[in-house]
């Protein structure tokens, strides 16, 4: 019987970032909250490791090898806000692997909904560069897997993290096989994602960037979802929908200035789930940012509840 599956792995706690907003306690907070509130019908599973060959279909093989070596010697600082520890290699493999597993359980029909709560997050990671707390671009690896291993032709990635997912934007910039839509605060790190960036070459028109000003909340985010994101995605007719789900647009988040609440995340999830039902495209969710532990945990719960609740 088709079920709902939540992927995570203890190795995520071994990605030791020290005093850093992207810390192991994020996953602990999510799982503790779900223990208390119930899992909304989701079954917990260990995220598998991503296969090297798949990882290298998204990332430069030299970059992957360099990262493996850096972790093997105990880790180090990669840029001002991105670092790895000895345990980051395994964590990163599981974080990407969890996103891939989401695709597999959805497309095999084993699950009707799936969520991967891995860390490090992914959407800033470029083909050959870690960036912005991100090592491997988990959602991009998952989308490539859907296209290659499952022979899909159209994958829709909706990124509601408050930061622009520059890595995902760039990886699929020139292909029509992935529609990438992002709502993000602007100006804000990493500074990319103007509305005029709509993709390039054969991918022209398959990138939808929706920058919003600081202090935007549920009303604007949900309006953009209903009036821009869903109509364009409907026209695209994706065979799979992946949400790049950061929760740092939450009002309580310390890294940005938007005012989204749990109710807003639930409304956006419901809108995407209904589109998926309409198009018979399964919906998977991959964790990105979100740095206020309580807000993060409650917002993930709101997402699971909205995702797992059958249409009444």
Chain residues in the site for Zn ion (CB under 5 A): 161, 163, 246, 248, 289
The residue at minimum Cβ distance from Zn ion is 289
Q: Are 46 and 7 in contact (CB under 8 A)?
A: yes
DSSP string, 140-163: HHHHHHHHHTS--S-EEEEE-SSS
Beta carbon of residue 161, minimum distance to Zn ion (angstroms, whole number): 4
Beta carbon of residue 157, minimum distance to Zn ion (angstroms, whole number): 15
Complex with Zn ion: residue 238 or 289, whichever CB lies closer? 289
Q: Are 289 and 134 in contact (CB under 8 A)?
A: no
Complex with Zn ion: residue 39 or 189, whichever CB lies closer? 189
| Residue 136 CA to its chain's centroid (Å) | 11
124 is catalytic: yes
Closest CA to 303 of 250, 230, 251, 245: 245
Gyration radius (Cα) of the chain, Å: 17
**In sequence order, what are the residues at sequence separation of 6 or more whose Cβ sits closer than 8 angstroms to the Cβ of residue 73?**
none
Beta carbon of residue 230, minimum distance to Zn ion (angstroms, whole number): 22
Q: Are 142 and 286 in contact (CB under 8 A)?
A: yes
Complex with Zn ion: residue 152 or 245, whichever CB lies closer? 245
d(CA 27, CA 184): 23
Beta carbon of residue 186, minimum distance to Zn ion (angstroms, whole number): 13
Query: Residue 77, Cβ neighbours under 10 Å: how many?
Result: 10
End-to-end Cα, the chain, rounded Å: 19
Beta carbon of residue 34, minimum distance to Zn ion (angstroms, whole number): 21
Residue among 9, 59, 123, 124 flagged as catalytic: 124
Complex with Zn ion: residue 112 or 242, whichever CB lies closer? 242
| Residue 270 CA to its chain's centroid (Å) | 17
- Strands (E) across 2-73 are located at 3-8, 42-46
Closest CA to 82 of 130, 137, 154, 28: 130
Complex with Zn ion: residue 161 or 292, whichever CB lies closer? 161
Complex with Zn ion: residue 107 or 220, whichever CB lies closer? 220
What's the helix, strand, coil split of the chain in %, to 5?
40, 20, 40
Beta carbon of residue 20, minimum distance to Zn ion (angstroms, whole number): 14
* Residues labelled catalytic: 124
């Amino acid at each position: 019987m088709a079920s709902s599956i939540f992927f995570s792995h203890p190795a995520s706690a071994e990605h030791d970032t020290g005093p850093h907003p992207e810390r192991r306690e994020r996953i602990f907070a999510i799982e503790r909250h779900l223990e208390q509130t119930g899992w909304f019908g989701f079954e917990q599973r260990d995220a598998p490791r991503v296969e090297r060959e798949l990882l290298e279909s998204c990332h430069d093989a030299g970059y992957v090898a360099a990262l493996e070596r850096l972790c093997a010697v105990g880790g180090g600082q990669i840029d001002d806000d991105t670092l790895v520890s000895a345990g980051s290699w395994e964590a990163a493999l599981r974080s990407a692997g969890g996103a891939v597993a989401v695709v597999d359980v959805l497309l095999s029909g084993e699950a009707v909904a799936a969520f991967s709560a891995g860390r490090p997050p992914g959407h800033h990671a470029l083909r050959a560069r870690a960036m912005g707390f991100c090592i491997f671009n988990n959602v991009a690896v998952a989308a490539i897997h859907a296209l290659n291993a499952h022979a899909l032709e159209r994958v829709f990635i909706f990124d509601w993290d408050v930061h622009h997912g520059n890595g995902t934007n760039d990886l699929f910039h020139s292909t029509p096989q992935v529609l990438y839509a992002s709502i993000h605060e602007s100006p804000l790190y990493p500074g990319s994602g103007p509305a005029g960036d709509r993709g390039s070459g054969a991918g022209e028109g398959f990138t939808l960037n929706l920058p919003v000003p600081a202090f935007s909340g549920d009303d604007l985010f949900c309006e953009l979802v209903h009036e821009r994101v869903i109509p364009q995605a409907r026209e695209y007719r994706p065979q799979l929908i992946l949400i790049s789900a950061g929760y740092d647009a939450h009002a309580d988040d310390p890294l940005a200035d938007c005012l989204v609440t749990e109710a807003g995340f639930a409304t956006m999830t419901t809108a995407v789930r209904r589109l998926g039902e309409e198009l018979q495209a399964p919906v998977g969710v991959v964790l990105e940012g979100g740095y206020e532990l309580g807000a993060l945990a409650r917002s993930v719960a709101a997402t699971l509840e909205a995702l797992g609740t059958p249409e009444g």
